[in-house]
Amino acid sequence: MPIKHIRPTHVGRHPEVFAQAIAFTKEGGYIDITTSGGNYMGSAADAFVMALEEGAPIDRITFSSDGHGSMPRFDKNGEMIGLTVCKVSDNLLQLRELAGKIGLEKALLPLTRTIATALCLENKGVIEAGKDADLLVMDKDLKPIHLFMKGRQVMKDSEVIVKGAFEE
């Protein structure tokens, strides 16, 4: 199976898996670091920085929250002690933390261009003529203010004005 079809996820949960994931990026593969915790070295931002320090190409690492999915909780010995729910908002929290470590332009990559490229979404991930016109406007503290999806405004002045099929 071509490497482009394999997508290791949750790669920050164990040192050996993480080392293999970094090697995988050096072979041209993409890896995903879960922003909703579970990274042995601390946060997803910490894992991202560690991957870069170990030589992983910045354009081969993506972030995802596993939004609303179940996430195991582990004790200090690595034993599972329960489950919690992943929060979509963890992507934003990790963006803020990562921006403080490597700068905003680079910190945006795992949530924008890199994930779009990895998933072969040619019209996503960049602001460019002919693309989908997805745009998030944030303030200096990286708080979302306005959001446009395919050119349609869905958030205005930090309030969601267009909701999904299952939202009230």
Q: Which residues are catalytic?
A: 66
How many structural domains are present in the chain? 2
Asked if residues 142 and 150 have their Cβ atoms less than 8 Å apart, the reply is no
The Cα 92–Cα 143 span in angstroms is: 8
Between residues 167 and 75, the one the model is more confident about: 75
Average pLDDT over the chain reads 92
Angle between the N-to-C axes of helices 44-53 and 15-26, in degrees from 0 to 180, rounded to the nearest 10 = 50
Read off the amino acid at residue 106: K
Read off the amino acid at residue 73: R
Looking at the fold, whether 74 and 55 belong to one and the same domain comes out as yes
Q: Look up residue 74 and give its two tokens.
A: 């582990």
Looking at the fold, whether 7 and 67 belong to one and the same domain comes out as yes
Looking at the fold, whether 75 and 152 belong to one and the same domain comes out as no
Residue 121 has what DSSP assignment?
A: -
Query: What integer pLDDT is reported at residue 41 of this predicted model?
Result: 84
Query: What integer pLDDT is reported at residue 138 of this predicted model?
Result: 96
Which tens digit of pLDDT belongs to each residue from 16-28?
Answer: 999 999 999 999 9
Query: What integer pLDDT is reported at residue 73 of this predicted model?
Result: 78
Query: What integer pLDDT is reported at residue 33 of this predicted model?
Result: 95
Which tens digit of pLDDT belongs to each residue from 140-164?
Answer: 999 999 999 999 999 999 999 998 8
Q: Look up residue 50 and give its two tokens.
A: 């560690």
Looking at the fold, whether 36 and 103 belong to one and the same domain comes out as yes
Looking at the fold, whether 10 and 37 belong to one and the same domain comes out as yes
Give the residue carrying structure tokens 């909701």: 163
Asked if residues 40 and 13 have their Cβ atoms less than 8 Å apart, the reply is yes
**Owning domain of residue 7:** 3-125
Query: What integer pLDDT is reported at residue 13 of this predicted model?
Result: 86
The Cα 64–Cα 90 span in angstroms is: 9
Which tens digit of pLDDT belongs to each residue from 60-95?
Answer: 999 998 877 887 777 888 788 988 888 888 999 999
Looking at the fold, whether 17 and 100 belong to one and the same domain comes out as yes
Residue 11, pLDDT above cutoff 90: yes
Q: What is the domain-level CATH number for residue 116? A: 3.20.20.140
Cβ burial 31-55 (10 Å sphere, 16+ → b, else e): bbbbbbbbbbeebbbbbbbbbbeee
Looking at the fold, whether 55 and 89 belong to one and the same domain comes out as yes
